[in-house]
Amino acid sequence: MPRKRRSAVLAICALALAAAPRAAAQILEGAAKRPTVRAYVSAGIGYSDLQSVSDPGSGSVWVFSPGAQYRASLEIPAGRGLDVGVSGTWARMPLGYATGLGDNESVACCLDAHATVSTLMATVHSGASARRGFYSVLDIGVGILRFANFSADDGGDALPPRSNMDFIFGIGGGAGYAFSSTLSATVVQDVGLSLHERGDLSNEVRTSVRHQTTRLGVRYGFATRTRRSSR
């Protein structure tokens, strides 16, 4: 082998041997540690709209207008890309409060009022990304819906009922964008259905109530680094 070629080969080998320990250390370090998310928390705000509610207990109809809804959740990874947990929402909704329901189904409309509408639901969440980029989101929930704190806008007088709770279930779909393996932003369209008591209402009166919410949220995962085998 010519002397010049032999010298070049020896130089390349020397550089490779010098760089090998550092490269090996980086590979082993990357393989030894990886983030493992233990829990996710999320917070968001949405634009919520729900149908009117006929309440036999108070003899009133609540004609809701859209309003802002706030949401928070806590979820634990359950494997196979699913997270299970709980979510809660809160909204102070404007409404027209109509009285006289049950009196031959004639209703005197309407008193401007506000009421608190909140939910507490068990949830299943699908959608997470270990890499930066877009991903799909699916949320399913079932739980309790609570109406409370009815008050007239003029004067602030309390209106019946004091509170009322219904069963609710819902599903939401949308998209997320992962900034990292632990931080992402989401936009989701939720559709829910709650069931109000019928009481002595006539059969023509609807007791199911549809809820629609478009929400923006931020999701953060609390992660620890766990070691794994380099094999």
Write out pLDDT tens, residues 57-105.
Answer: 999 999 999 999 999 999 999 988 899 999 999 999 999 999 877 654 5
Q: Which helix (H) or strand (E) holds 150?
A: strand 133-152
Q: Do the beta carbons of residue 150 and residue 161 sit within 8 Å?
A: yes
Question: What pTM did the predictor assign?
Answer: 0.80
Q: Do the beta carbons of residue 146 and residue 156 sit within 8 Å?
A: no
- How many beta carbons lie within 10 A of that of residue 53, not counting itself? 22
Integer Cα distance of 82 and 92 in angstroms:
31
Integer Cα distance of 87 and 72 in angstroms:
6
Secondary structure letter of residue 158 according to DSSP = B
Write out pLDDT tens, residues 5-38.
Answer: 455 444 444 444 444 445 444 444 444 455 688 9
